[in-house]
C-alpha cells in the first residue's frame, strides 16, 4: 500500500483529515459497526489522566459497515470521553484509505471477532503502535514470526493501563515507530498474501 500515496508523509496525511499536528493521533477501529466495540474502548479511554487526554486526538473511521444509528452513539461517547476527536464518515478509495491509515500514531482494535482483517495489518505496516485484544491474536500469526512490538489486553478492564504503557513507549521512541517495524515490513513483503497489497503501500514509508 506504500505506492498508493506518492510519497505523502505522515504529517500531510494528518492534515488531510484535520488531525492537529501537535497531538498524538489515535485511531479506533476501522468501520462503523458495533462489532468494533468503540463505546467500550472510549469508556476506558475516559479513565486516562487529564494531562494525557490533552495530548491525544481520536479519529474513528466510519466510512462503511455502518450499524444504523450507531455513529450518533459513538459521537456522544467521544464527547463523554473528554478527548478531542472526530468521526471519519466518508467512504474512501484505496489511495485515501492509505492516507487515513498513515495518519495514525496509535491504532486501537477491539473487535469481538474477525478473520484476520487486513486493516490492523495495514496500520502495523505503516508504523502505528497497535493495541489489540488477546482473543484475536490467533488470527495474526505474523506477529509471532517477527520481532515487531505490539500491545495486547485480555479484558477491557486492562485496556487503560495497557494504553498507558504503550503511550510511554511511544513518547520515548526516537523515531516514533514500534521496535521490530522493519522486520515486520520485510516479512510481509515476502509473504505471498501481501503480493497484491504490499506494493501499493510502499510510498507511504
What's the pLDDT tens digit per position in 16-67?
A: 999 999 999 999 999 999 999 999 999 999 999 999 999 999 999 999 999 9
The rounded Cα 171 to chain-centroid distance in angstroms is 17
DSSP-based helix, strand, coil % in the chain, nearest 5: 45, 15, 40
Cα dihedral 152, 78, 117, 99, rounded to 10, equals -110
Length reported for the chain: 205
Check residues 176 and 190 and name the one with the higher pLDDT.
190
Residue 6 has pLDDT above 50, yes or no: no
Q: Whole-model pTM? A: 0.90
Check residues 196 and 191 and name the one with the higher pLDDT.
191
Query: Which helix (DSSP H) or strand (DSSP E) does residue 163 occupy?
Result: helix 159-172
Cβ(147)–Cβ(179) below 8 Å: yes
Each residue's pLDDT tens digit, 102-158: 999 999 999 988 766 788 888 988 889 999 999 998 888 878 888 888 999 999 999
First-to-last alpha carbon distance for the chain, in angstroms, is 10
Q: In what order do the strands lie in the sheet with 85-88?
A: 85-88, 56-61, 24-28, 106-108, 129-133, 151-153
In this structure, what DSSP letter does residue 145 have? S
The C-alpha atoms of residue 63 and residue 86 are separated, in whole angstroms, by 12
Residue 187 has pLDDT above 50, yes or no: yes
Residue 199 pLDDT level (bands cut at 50, 70, 90): low
**Most confident segment among 90-99, 142-151, 154-163:** 154-163
Residue 7 has pLDDT above 60, yes or no: no
Kindly provide the residue ranges of all beta strands, DSSP E only, lying in 85-138, ordered along the sequence. Answer: 85-88, 106-108, 129-133
Amino acid at each position: 500500500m506504500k505506492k498508493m500515496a506518492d510519497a505523502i508523509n505522515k504529517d500531510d496525511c494528518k492534515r488531510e483529515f484535520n488531525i492537529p499536528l501537535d497531538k498524538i493521533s489515535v485511531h479506533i477501529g476501522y468501520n462503523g459497526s458495533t462489532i468494533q466495540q468503540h463505546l467500550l474502548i472510549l469508556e476506558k479511554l475516559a479513565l486516562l489522566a487529564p494531562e494525557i487526554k490533552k495530548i491525544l486526538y481520536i479519529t474513528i473511521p466510519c466510512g462503511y459497515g455502518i450499524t444504523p444509528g450507531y455513529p450518533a452513539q459513538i459521537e456522544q461517547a467521544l464527547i463523554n470521553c473528554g478527548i478531542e476527536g472526530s468521526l471519519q464518515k466518508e467512504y474512501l478509495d484505496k489511495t485515501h484509505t492509505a492516507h487515513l491509515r498513515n495518519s495514525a500514531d496509535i491504532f486501537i482494535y477491539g473487535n469481538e471477532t474477525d478473520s484476520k482483517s487486513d486493516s490492523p495489518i495495514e496500520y502495523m505496516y505503516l508504523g502505528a503502535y497497535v493495541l489489540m485484544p488477546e482473543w484475536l491474536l490467533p488470527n495474526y500469526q505474523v506477529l509471532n514470526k517477527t520481532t515487531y512490538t505490539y500491545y495486547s489486553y485480555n479484558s477491557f478492564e486492562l485496556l487503560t493501563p495497557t494504553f498507558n504503557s504503550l503511550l510511554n513507549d511511544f513518547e520515548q521512541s526516537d523515531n516514533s515507530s514500534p521496535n521490530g517495524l522493519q522486520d515486520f515490513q520485510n516479512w510481509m513483503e515476502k509473504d505471498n498474501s501481501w503480493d497484491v497489497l504490499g506494493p501499493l503501500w510502499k510510498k507511504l514509508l
